[in-house]
Amino acid sequence: MSEQFNEFIAKIDKQEGRTFVKAESEYEKRLRSADAEEQKRIEQALKEEAELIAKAQNEYEKAIKKAEGTDIEKAQAKLQADLARAAEIRAAEVKRAQEIEAAKIAKAALIQEARIVRAQVLESAKVDRSGAKYIQRVSRTGDQYLIKLRDAGATTPELEEARRQINEKIAEAENRVKLAQQAAVQDDVVRRTARLGEEREFMRKFGRLTDEHEYVQRRNRLADRHRVEEHEFIQRRNRLRDLPHVEDHEFFKKKR
């Protein structure tokens, strides 16, 4: 039975591993798609800007050719054409900047969605794995209990009643796993997991998540814990000193 249980655990571990690999592959695919969509929109924005600038230049040249009258009138017409062309170019630049900004915002939304989907799959896989193990452990414990009852000479009705109770426990375990699965895919859990992954990616990208950084964090946490323990010890010692006849207390002897 132990071998069967170990085989079952190995099987669900393997399934979880495949799920993780698939989730990461889908995540990378979504990131590539977001990059491609952003690049496409940026190229389109640059193309439209170039077309608008070319159109403004064409209108400028036409206005210069149509200019008639005295030199002052021609200079005024040229000035008006210059101003009109500058306004058109500025409008084209603003439109291009807006389109690129919109493309970046859309990409960020796609990336966040990809992170949420990945986190949702990973959370669900973890719950499935732990839930399957939990149900299997309940079932195995029930089987072992039945064997002990049978070896102890339990009657058939007693064994049937024990089996019924075990089945109820298994059904209860399955229901608890279903509830956990539902909770695992809630937006708050998924978004929190996705945000944590996003922060780790940011730190890794900028070289902040290094072995040295993690070592410093662990060292600081350990130092904080020691300070808390020392503070608690001093408080306990002071409370004991306020009590009568505590000179021979074992706690006091150790730390005296």
Q: Confidence band (pLDDT; 50, 70, 90) for 246?
A: very low
The mean-pLDDT minimum among 3-17, 72-86, 198-212, 229-243 falls in 198-212
For the cut 80, the answer to whether the pLDDT of residue 187 exceeds it is no
Residue whose pair of structure tokens reads 């960020």 in the numeric block: 108
For position 177, what pLDDT does the model report? Answer: 72
Give the percent of the chain with pLDDT over 70: 66
For the cut 50, the answer to whether the pLDDT of residue 249 exceeds it is no
Report whether 237 contacts 248 (CB < 8 A): no
pTM score of the predicted model: 0.47
Amino acid identity of residue 110, one-letter, is: L
Tell me which range, 104-108, 125-129, 131-135, 188-192, is most confidently predicted by mean pLDDT: 104-108
Q: Confidence band (pLDDT; 50, 70, 90) for 11?
A: low
Per-residue pLDDT, averaged over 61-78, amounts to 78
For position 207, what pLDDT does the model report? Answer: 52
3-state secondary structure of 245: coil
For position 240, what pLDDT does the model report? Answer: 55
For the cut 60, the answer to whether the pLDDT of residue 169 exceeds it is yes
The alpha carbons of the chain give a radius of gyration, in whole angstroms, of 36
| 144: CB partners within 8 A, 6+ apart | 1
Q: Alpha-carbon distance 60 to 85, whole Å?
A: 6
For the cut 50, the answer to whether the pLDDT of residue 255 exceeds it is no
For position 214, what pLDDT does the model report? Answer: 60
For the cut 80, the answer to whether the pLDDT of residue 185 exceeds it is no
Per-residue pLDDT, averaged over 153-157, amounts to 82
For position 193, what pLDDT does the model report? Answer: 59
Map 17-50 to HEC letters.
HHHHHHHHHHHHHHHHHHHHHHHHHHHHHHHHHH
For position 256, what pLDDT does the model report? Answer: 46
The mean-pLDDT minimum among 33-42, 108-117, 162-171, 198-207 falls in 198-207
The mean-pLDDT minimum among 36-45, 59-68, 195-204 falls in 195-204
Give the percent of the chain with pLDDT over 90: 0
Q: Confidence band (pLDDT; 50, 70, 90) for 23?
A: confident
Q: Confidence band (pLDDT; 50, 70, 90) for 205?
A: low
For position 237, what pLDDT does the model report? Answer: 64
